[in-house]
Amino acid sequence: MDFSLNLGVLDEGKLVKIDENKLYDVTVIGAGPAAVSAAIYSARKGLSVAMVGLKVGGQVLDTDGIENIIGTISTTGAKFAESLHEHLKEHEIAFKEGNLVTEIKEDGKDKIFVTDDGKSYRTKTLIVATGAKPRGLNIPGEKEYTGKGVHYCSTCDGPFYKGLDVAVIGGGNSGVEAAIDLSGIAKSVTLIEFMPEMKADKVLQDKLAERENIKVILNSATKEVIGKEFVESIKYVDRATEKEHDLKVNGMFIEIGLSPRSELVKDLVKINKIGEIEINNENNMTSVKGIFAAGDVTTVKQKQIIIAMGEGAKAALGAFEYLIKEY
């Protein structure tokens, strides 16, 4: 088997142009931490690697401060994305930046993928690392204050609210876990749930009830985020009385789940009921031989940067093993 490397050097370090006439060993779809990790690990194995994604960093670019990547005490989303890009440039990877893959077809053992500029390419294996996007409330002020008091990950951004007042939107497992997590950091936590009852597991609700600095508001709809430079309050409506309330907070965490970006492969590989790509935990292969997946788009439970990077590496090693043993 020929694991030929890409040749040539561009201004982007060792990154090269993608070649329509080349059969790549591995193609990574996505440009977030999982995708970058998969591409680098594949290149380090001597494989020819292509990568297609909009912008290096993915969801990381929407994150203000990052303090939970071991070995990096503190950084910002923008700086971390830049470091990912710099690391990519150390390897001979064919990176098609600013484009999306719109179609994937099988041709025997090979895969053909088409990008949004109408060009098609061939590859022996695929690693889908398209990530996920937080489910939002789509209310006034949410978009404007994202990163300025509106957050979607308590683990990522909770530590910035030590001793402050925060709100958590969502009474499912994600919301209740976030509220419990934040209660050990923030001065007070107010959990707002749309339905008359919380949907979280009983064991989580019991733990929630033990925390004295958590207040729960049920049957209420969050309507607006209010602030100046940063969030100052949120407006919610009691659905039973239709009475409007203002809650003063320094920050809010919208924890109503993630929406996996799996539309591209939903008719090709097996996905679960919420759209996550099902993978083999041993090597990250999907239900289709030669197609692997990594990061937030998969069924891996914990959606964290450091975990996504590990999963990207695992998918690359899985693809390498598949090429040796089965291609």
Give the closest residue to 299 by CA, choosing from 316, 313, 278: 278
How far apart are alpha carbons 190 and 216 in whole angstroms? 6
Is 19 one of the annotated active-site residues of the chain? no
Query: What integer pLDDT is reported at residue 99 of this predicted model?
Result: 96
Compute the half-sphere exposure of residue 146: CA atoms within 13 Å on the CB side of its CA: 18
Task: Verify whether residue 62 is a known catalytic residue.
Answer: no
Task: Indicate which residue of 2, 62, 107, 156 is catalytic.
Answer: 156
The per-residue pLDDT for 9 is 37
Q: pLDDT of 26-61, one tens digit each?
A: 999 999 999 999 999 999 999 999 999 999 999 888
What pLDDT is attached to residue 64?
63
Provide the H-helix boundaries in the chain: 33-44, 77-88, 154-157, 173-183, 202-209, 305-325
Which of 19, 64, 153, 296 is catalytic? The answer is 153
pLDDT in tens, 10-24: 457 899 999 999 999
201 is catalytic: no
Given the residues 19, 110, 117, 157, the one annotated as active site: 157
The pLDDT of residue 10: 40
Distance, CA of 124 to CA of 1 (rounded, Å): 11
Q: Flag residues of the chain having pLDDT under 50.
A: 1-10
Identify the pLDDT of residue 1: 45
